[in-house]
Structure 1
Amino acid sequence: MDGGRAKRLIQKAKKEKRDLLLPEAFEVLRAYGIPVADYQVVRRKEKLEKVMEKIGGPFAFKAISSDISHKSDKGGVILNVDHLKKAEEAYDRIRKLNGGDLSVLIQKMILNGKEVILGAKRDPSFGPVVLFGLGGIYVEVLQESSLRLAPINRLEAEEMISELKASAILKGIRGERPLDMKALVENLIRLSQLMIDFPEIEGIDINPVMVLEKGAVAVDARILLTI
């Protein structure tokens, strides 16, 4: 873990009295060993083709703005971009959201695996709390999650996952191959430690994390600070 790198990003945002921007949140996660789907920030349209060749598609185009917290509600996320013309249109649409001032984050879409949610908040009575839940369609159907006080150890992280009714889908059912539970457990532990190390973090929402046969990768993230 690279606590110094995370500290610099968090202190910069706090000094500017704002929450972390999307690429900053991704870099803090990476600093703590939580994998993030490949991405790059683009500020000039002529760079699109080169970036797309480097990352490999299909792509998600995302707005970078402290004023747009729920990006998808504002049209700040465009999915399934698979060729240059569509990429140029997506780039222009996102840039127009804030008078042309927005940078655009281009991210490789993870099309396989299962969606889960990792989160954390700072409870006024109990302190830092870590959350785990299933994502995608399972959020609406089951509406269940597990909570633990941070810091958590490996056994507690494993229990957070196994106590959910639908956690069997991660272990492989109906002929599906089991997913990487060890990577998911590791992400929960590292998220827990991040909350312990930085009391200025009010909350973290990593939604979704894609759990694969090998690895568990963050696709979107918000880190809120006590300003």
Structure 2
Amino acid sequence: MKFRNRREAGRMLAQQLGAYKGQDVIVLAIPMGGVPVAYEIALEMRAPLDVVMAKKIGAPFNPEFAIGAVTWNGAVLLDEDSMEKWKIPNEYVGEVSRKLVRDMKEQLDTLRVGLGDFPKLYGRTVIIVDDGIATGNTMIAAVEAIRDQGPADVVIATPVIPKELVTDMELVAPLVFLDAPEDFEAVGQYYEEFEMTSEDAVRGLMLLANSA
């Protein structure tokens, strides 16, 4: 399956989330690419839209190789097997995590201009959205951080995810997806248009969704 762009994928994904319509839903996007997808879901659900941030922690020998993830509020999720295999010191994880948390907090302040305080999640149905899941580390960290805030339910929604990850992600939270290819290589290969989403675009979509 190939989507024309993130907005189209969001409209298609929203149709698969009908079971949650009418509940006290809030849609949280993982920026930047998750926001256009989540925008369409928020419109369909008539729900507020906000962002939740998590970043992968890269290995010291290769920043692109994820050994875990950290959320904006400092929750760290590590791949213990990788930590042991590569003998990665906890001091390294702590140093990288602190920098990532600072960066995420600064970016959140920039993206959330005009939105006020972060919304309360207690007792609500929280749908966490990204434009695709490649390893699952970032999404799992986001789910755990949100779950600590007492929502009634947390749901993962994504247009595309590798088939090999589906069962593992379903153990983390209810999972709604459109495609789970066996030959997954990268999220971008499932979109005809996959340009970077700018901060201006993110701010605009969030303000639009929350004023609808």
TM above 0.5: no
Return the index of the structure with the highest Cα Rg.
Answer: 1
TM-score, normalized by length of structure 2? 0.27
TM-score (norm 1): 0.26
Which structure is higher in RCO with an 8 Å CA cutoff and minimum separation 6? 2
Q: Which has the higher strand share?
A: 1
